Amino acid sequence: MKISILEQSTLSENASPSDAIQNTVWLAREADYLGYERLWLSEHHNMSILQGSSPEVLLAAVGSKTDRIRLGSGGVMLPNHSAYKVAENFRVLEALFPGRVDCGIGRASGGDPYSTALLNPPDGIDFPQQVGQLERFFHDGHQRVTATPKVDSAPPLWLLSAGSHPESGLMAAEKGMGLAIALFINPAATREAVAQYRRNFRPSPEFPEPRVLIALNFVGADTPAKLEEMKKASDYFRLMRDSGNYPKAVPSPETLDRVEFSASQKAYLAQIANREVTGLIDDAVKEIAARAAAYDADEVMLTMMCFDIEDKIRAFHQVADRIVS
């Protein structure tokens, strides 16, 4: 089983946005050293707590500080952008870091309706049409324009899916893309979406065989006290997110000491527990493997919400010691 990281450039209380971005670069260097398969960066807009608004730019910085880890978007929110410009951005990355770049694409906006409108998406084109455009630009299939720079290989395309229903992965199957199931967003994702994808998969140059990863929220630590602290921060973010009240930053442990979850909030967290793996490191690693088996996944991607970047890096070190060979 391969293990990877999804990084969202979170802003912690009393830190600066620059700190959030620099922490992402630091984490990438550690992940590269530890042997993680890939590091993907998310795209969000007008959300203070999630500072990663431009994965393509940040990937260039991350690539310059790493040697072997695969770099990608998790994802580029394609409806926000011209497929032509996305192709050019990722061809530049492929030219800089040949054979190391993934292009993960999603259909969500990554922000509120107002900020989404400011990104000037193209008129009169839907998501499947954009995917087709992007494929053609990556493979020089357009008759009038070429996405430059022209490179020898195309970044593999991954479809980000909530896995909500059995047909969630059919586009990825029909187009020979990788399938990434966002369990950390949708805990009700179905294994049948993966089964349908595998049954209907059509090979492509980038994916001769189907490839499935599941993305999980991860809360892991080496002591019960630290685990409780980190779990509360992660739960607080999810409760605020799902109520439409994104916090401005990840609260400090001292701030969270003043927060008490209600009985209904605790019940809701229990209801969506499939979104994450939580536990002391040895137990958490076993659960990661079990979750991969449950969804017939080739790879697990972990995302982590915590106040202190050193806690995140320590946890990823400990996971790597037990999984990465």
Instruction: Tell the burial category of 257 from Cβ atoms under 10 Å away from its Cβ (0-12, 13-18, 19+).
Output: exposed
pLDDT value of position 166: 86
Does the pLDDT of residue 295 top 80, yes or no? yes
Residue 210 contacts by C-beta under 8 Å, 6 or more apart in sequence?
A: 173, 178, 179, 197, 198, 201
Q: Which residue has the tokens 């324009």?
A: 145
Architecture of the domain spanning 2-323:
Alpha-Beta Barrel (3.20)
Digit-coded pLDDT (tens) for 160-177: 999 998 888 999 999 999
Amino acid at 240: M
Report the pLDDT value the prediction gives residue 153, as an integer from 0 to 100.
Answer: 92
pLDDT, residue 121, reads 62
pLDDT for 325: 63
Prior bond to 75 cis, omega within 30? yes
Determine the average pLDDT of the residues in 64-92: 94
Residue 93 has pLDDT above 90, yes or no: yes
CA distance 307 to 284: 20
Label residue 25 left, alpha or beta by phi (over 0 means left) and psi (-120 to 50 means alpha). Answer: alpha
Task: Report the mean per-residue pLDDT for the chain.
Answer: 94
Output phi, psi for 308, to 5 deg: -105, 120
* Cis omega (within 30 of 0) for bond into 52: no
The mean pLDDT value for 214-229 works out to: 97
* Dist. CA 173–CA 165, nearest whole Å: 15
Alpha carbon 202 to chain centroid, angstroms: 24
Is the predicted pLDDT of residue 64 greater than 90, yes or no? yes
